[in-house]
Structure 1
C-alpha cells in the first residue's frame, strides 16, 4: 500500500484495536510510531496486563487485540483463552520476544491470527496492519458472499424437518413426550434431554432486499451455535430460532449451569451477528423448560422478551425472567394486535403512548360494535388489564392505597358509549402505568442495592465476582452489568475494586498488618496485583499511602 493511500474498511468505520503489553515504553512506542489510520485502524486503549485488558474489552469491544505473552497477574495465553471463551470474534495477534514452540502450539490452538517476534520495525507493523485489515474485510465479504449464500440457500434443510421444528413452537395441543422424541429421532434431532430454552431474533431485512441476508444470518447462527452439542437452529417466518438443549442426567442444581451456557451462547451469537451485519439485533430468551412439549411455552416467552426491545434499546440480550416474574405470561392468543400493543404500552411505554393506543382501541375497530359487542370488547380489555396488574401484585379495584377502592363492575355498566369508555380507560390505564413504572424503577434500584449489599458482605472473598452475585440475585450477567452501570455510573468490577481499595485504606491507616495480609483480607488472591491496583486507583503504593497517613 502506498504511503498516501488510506485503507477504507467494509463499513467505512475504522477497526478498533487494543494494545496489551506490560512494558509501557514498548506500548507507547508502537502506538506513536504506527500510522494506524492509514490502514483503517484506531487504537481504543492500552493495557499493562491481561486483567486490565479484559476490562477494556468488556467496555469497548475491539476488533483486534495485539498482546504480549509474559505479563503479570494474567499472562497473554490466559488472556487469549478468556477472549476466545467470552469474545470469540476478536482477531488476536501475539507480539512477543519469546520464540518458543510451546507458545506457537498454544497460539494455533486458540486460533491466533499471527505470531510476530520482537523487536518489530515500523515497516513490519505496517505490513501486519495491511494483512490484518485485508483478513477482516475478507471475513465480512465471505459471510456476505452472494454466490456462496445462494448455494447454501438451495441446500436448506428438508421441508419435513423444518415443519417438525416449527410444530414444536406452535403446537396448541400437548404433544406426547415419547412421540415427540421418537419423531425427532427419525429426523436426526435429539430431544432426549431435560433442559430446553428457546432463543430468537428477528431478521428485519427490508422487502426489497435479497432474502440472502436472512440466509446469511441463519448460517452465522448455525456456525456459532452448532459448535456446541445440542442446539437446533432454523428459520421461522422472519425469525431465526435456536432451541438450546442439554441433559442434566439428574444432577441437582443443573438449571443454573444450563442457564449460564444459554447466556454464553446468546452473547457469542450477538457478537458475531453485530460483527457481520449492520442492522440492530436483539436476542430474546424464553423460560427454561424441562420437556419437549414445553418448548412452545419457552418460545412464546422469548417473543414476549423481544417485545421489550423498544423499551430497553441498550439491551441486546433480553431474558424473560429478568423482565417479568416467572410464569407471569400474558395470554396474547385471546387478544387482537391492538390490545396487545396497548398492554405493552401500559407496561413499558410513555403516558402519551398509552393514550394513543387507547384512541386506536376505541377508534374504527370499535365504531361498528353493538351495545352488547361493546360490553364484550370492554370485558376483554379489562381481563387483559386485570391479568397485567395481578402479575405485579395488584388488583384493579385497589391500585392506589390513597384512593377508595374502585367497583369495576358497577362502573362498567355506565360505559354505554365509545367516548365514555375511552375516557374511563384513559384514566384507569394511566393509573396502572404510573403504578407499574414506579414498581419497575424500584425493582431496578432494589436489585442494585441488593448487589451493593452482597459486595459489602462478600468482597473479602477472592473468588467473589460477577457470576457469583448474579447467581445470588437470580439475574443474567448481561442484564445485571448494563443495569448496574446505568444506576451507579461505574461497572461492577470497578465498584467491587473500589470497595476493596477503600477497605484496604482503612486497614493501612489503622493496623500494622503487612501489605500481603491486607491484600488477602480485602479479596485479592495475588498481593502484587493488589499493589498494582492500589497504585492505579490511589496514585501511590500501599506503603507510601500508609506513611503519608500516619
Structure 2
C-alpha cells in the first residue's frame, strides 16, 4: 500500500493528540507528519516537507483554516484538504465546497467516521497517482502529444533556422500561437542516474512533461517539445518582470516532479527576449543554467539571469556558439567543472576539430578563430583580457608556431587561468548578494511587509534563487534569519525600554502582538512579559 503524508492543524492540542492516538494511520496507508497549531505553522511545514493531506480546524489564531486552505490550494493544487470544525454554519460549508475540500466534518470527530474519510481520500490519491504512473497511458499520451510538424518548428526556432518572413505563415500552418510580448525558454533536465530502476527513462520524461503541461500550459501559454533528450518549454510573458515568477513556478514544479514522478529534474530558465528570432539566445542561457546544477544542486530551478546577472549579451557571439558545440563544452567546463573535466573537454575539442592533416592555411585560420573566440568569451564574461594575455604579446602570432600538442598545453593553461578568475568573481558576487540582503534585514527588520518575495525583487533575482543562496551562505533560511534578528532586537527592548509588549512587537515588525508573543515563547521558552519580569528581578528592580 502506498503511503501518503498527513498534517493535522488545530490550536486545541488535546483534540489533535486524541485524533493522533485513535486513528490507525499506518493501517490506513498514511504517515503522520505531526501537527501545527495554526495556519502559519502549517504553511512553514508544507514548504519544507511534501504534504498530501491536511486535516484542519477552521477557527485558529494568526491564520484560520479557510485561509490556509486557499493558500495551500494555490501552491499545491493536488493537495487534499479535510476541514473539521465545531461551527455548524452553512457559510463555512459553502466555502469548503468552493475550495474543493474532500470533506467538511463537525466536531466532536468520531474516529470511525474519520477513518472512513481517510480511506476514501487514500483511494482518490491512489487513482490520481496511477493515472500519472500508468505506462500505457504515458505511451498513448506520448504518441498523441508530439505532432511532428510542431516539434520541427520549435526546434528550428531555438536553433535560429527560421526567417522573419516565414514566421507568420509557419505558425498559421502549424496552428501555433506565439504572440506574446516576451518569451523565455525553459529546459527540464531529468537526472537519469537518479531515476528509479525498472522504468524506461523516456516514459519518466513524458510523465514530467505531462505534469509541466498541467501546471503551465494555460497560465504561461506554453509550448512543449523534446530536444536533445530534454523537455523544452517556450513560455510567453506579458511583462519582462514575470521571469521572477516563472523561476518560482519552476521551483515548485521540480519539487512536484520528485514526489509525483520520483524524478530529479533541474529547470534551466533562459534570458527573457522580446523577439521569436532571439529564442536561440534564451535557449543557450537555459542550457548554461541547467549546467550550473553541479554548483547549485540538482532538483532546483536555476535562472541564467540569477547566476550571471551582469553578463553582457552579444547576439552574434551567442549564435556562433550555437554552431560551436564542442567549444561550448569547454566554456561550460570553465564556468563550473573541475580542472580535470576542463582538460578532458579541451582534449576532446582538439581531437574532434578535424586537424589530423590540415593545410597550413586551414590550420592558421583555425588558430585565429580559436583565439578570437576566447577573446569574445572573456568579453562576454567581463574578464579583463590583459589578465590572461600580456599587453605586449601578439597572441595570434604566438599560436601560429604551436603544434597540436603545444596548442593543447597552451589552451589548458589559459582556460585554467580564466576558470580561476570567473570562480573568484562568482564567489565575490554571491557574498556581495548575501551581504546586501543581510544589511537590508538589519535596516528594515521593523517593516511588517518584509518578505523573501519583496527583497528578491529589489535585488533583481528570483525568490527561489534568493532562498537557496541565502541559506547556503548564512546557514539559515531567510525567515529564520529575520525572526532571529527581530528576537534579538526584542530582547534588548524588553530590558532597556519601559514599553508595552504590543509596542515592542510593532517596533520589531510584528503587526499582531499575539503572534509576536507566540513566536517569542516558541524561541525562548517564555512569554515576553515573563522574560521582562525575570530580567528586572535579576537586576534587583
Shared fold per TM-score greater than 0.5: yes
> C-alpha offsets along residues 180-201 of structure 1, whole Å, 9 cap, x if unaligned?
4575356554433312222221
1 CA distance for matches of 2:74 and 2:312? 32
- Using the alignment, how far apart are the partners of 1:479 and 1:287 within structure 2? 15
TM-score for the superposition, normalised by structure 1? 0.86
Query: Residue 215 of structure 2 corresponds to which residue in structure 1?
Result: 224
Which moved further from structure 2: 424-433 or 484-493? 424-433
Instruction: Please point out which of 224, 230, 233 is paired with 2:224.
Output: 233
* Matched position secondary structure for 2:519: helix
Asked if the contact 2:208–2:257 (Cα under 8 Å) also holds between the matched residues in 1, the reply is: yes
- Of the three residues 456, 463, 466, the one matched with 2:452 is 466
What secondary structure sits across from 1:278 in the alignment? coil
1: CA distance between counterparts of 2:269 and 2:217?
17
Residue 378 of structure 1: how far off its partner (Å): 4.0
| Cα distance in 2 for residues equivalent to 1:456 and 1:465 | 13
- Deviations, residues 51-107 of structure 1 (Å, cap 9, x unaligned): 111112112232332222111111111111111222333332223333333223222
* Equivalent residue, structure 1, for 2:240: 255
Question: Does 2:322 align with 1:309?
Answer: no
Task: Check conservation: 1:198, 1:287, Cα contact below 8 A.
Answer: yes
Matched with 1:275 is 259
Question: Residue 47 of structure 1 contacts residue 53 of structure 1 at CA under 8 Å; is this kept in 2?
Answer: yes
Could you tell me which runs of 5 or more consecutive residues in structure 1 were left unpaired when the two chains were aligned.
1-7, 248-253
Q: Give the conservation status (yes or no) of the 8 Å contact 1:89–1:272.
A: no
Deviations 1:230-270 (A, max 9, x none): 333344453333222244xxxxxx432x2244234323433
The change in CA–CA distance for 1:384 and 1:262 in structure 2 (over 3 A counts) is same
Bigger CA drift: 424-433 or 380-389? 380-389
Deviates more, 1:209-218 or 1:136-145: 209-218
Shift of 1:499: 1.6
**TM-score normalised by structure 2 residue count:** 0.87
Are 2:178 and 1:191 equivalent residues in the alignment?
Answer: yes
Is residue 268–residue 304 contact of structure 2 (8 Å, CA) maintained in 1? Answer: yes
**Which range moves more in the overlay, 310-319 or 115-124?**
115-124
What is the CA–CA distance in structure 1 between the aligned matches of 2:500 and 2:181, rounded to whole Å? 52
Partner SS for 1:467: helix
2:332 corresponds to: 344
| CA-based RMSD | 3.0
| Mapped partners of 2:512, 2:307: distance in 1 | 38
Q: What SS class does the counterpart of residue 294 from structure 2 fall into? A: coil
Which segment drifts farther, 455-464 or 382-391?
382-391
Secondary structure of 2:101's aligned partner: coil
Q: Distance in 1 between matches of 2:292 and 2:474?
A: 22
Alignment-derived partner of residue 40 in structure 2:
51
Once the two structures are TM-superposed, the CA of residue 158 in structure 1 deviates from its matched residue by 4.7
Q: CA deviation at 1:375?
A: 4.4
Give secondary structure in 2 for the equivalent of 1:540: coil
Q: Deviations over 1:34-66 (max 9, x none)?
A: 333334432334211111111121122323322
CA change 1:45–1:491 in 2 (3 A) is: farther
Give the aligned length: 527
For structure 2, the 5+ residue unaligned runs are 537-541
Q: Secondary structure at the match of 1:549?
A: helix
Match of 2:413 among 402, 414, 427: 427
The equivalent of 2:141 in structure 1 is 152
Q: Where do residues 159-170 of structure 1 align in structure 2 (5 Å cutoff)?
A: 159-170=148-159
Q: CA contact under 8 A between 1:285 and 1:317: conserved in structure 2? A: yes
Deviation string 1:450-471 (CA, Å, 9 cap, x unpaired) is 1001111222111110111101
Residue 358 of structure 1, aligned match among 346, 361, 374: 346
The offset of 1:476, in angstroms, is 0.6
Q: Report the equivalent of 1:15.
A: 4
